[in-house]
Amino acid sequence: MAEPPDEKSKQALITALRLLAASPKSQRELRTKLEAKGYPAMAVQFAMNELSGQGVLDDKAYAKNLTTRLMQGSAAGRRRVAFELKHHGVPEKVQREILGSLTESNERARALELARSKWPSLSKLEPAKRKKKLFDHLIRKGYDYHVVRDVLETVARDTPDDDPTL
C-alpha cells in the first residue's frame, strides 16, 4: 500500500473501504460517493488507484457477482441484468462480456422454472387473465418477449386450465 500524499487522501481511502465493507460497488458508484462526501479529486483518485491496484475494486468481479445475485436471487432475465449493470455504472466493455456469456437456453430454463412456480398461484383466475398475469410477471423480471411467449405456451400446454390439482 502506497503512503497517502496527504490527510485528505488517507481519509478518502478509509471512507472508500468503509463504503465497500457496507456493500459492493462499481468504480463509478464509489467515485460518485466519495465526490459527494466532498473529497478533492486528487484524494478520490488516490483511493481509487489504491483499491484497484490491490484488487479490492474490480468492476468485472462486481458485475459477475451482481449478475449471479440477480439471476439466482430474483430470477431476473437478461434485460434486467443489462439494465442493472448499466445502472450501477459497470463499463460497457464489461457489460458486453457478461451479457455475452448469458445463453438464451439458460434464460429460457430459468423463465420456465419461474413460470411453473408462479402458474399454480394464479389458478383462480380465468385462463386469459392467468396468462396475462404470468406474461406481465415474466416481462417485469426482464425476460425477452420471445422467451416469455414460448415459456407461456409451454406452461399453458403442460398444465390444462381445468386441472383440479391447481
* Residue whose C-alpha is closest to residue 31's, from 55, 5, 59: 59
Domains of the chain, CATH where assigned? 7-57 (1.10.10), 60-100 (no CATH), 104-158 (1.10.10)
Position 127 scores a pLDDT of 86
Q: Give the mean pLDDT of the chain.
A: 90
DSSP codes joined into one string, 101-141: T--HHHHHHHHHHHHHHHGGGGTTS-HHHHHHHHHHHHHHT
Residue 160's Cβ-count burial label (10 Å; 0-12, 13-18, 19+) is: exposed
Q: How many residues does the chain have?
A: 166
Q: What confidence tens digit (pLDDT) does each residue in 94-143 have?
A: 999 999 998 888 899 999 999 999 999 998 999 889 999 999 999 999 99
Q: For residue 33, what are the contacts with CB-CB under 8 A and spacing of at least 6?
A: 19, 25
Cell of 45: 483518485
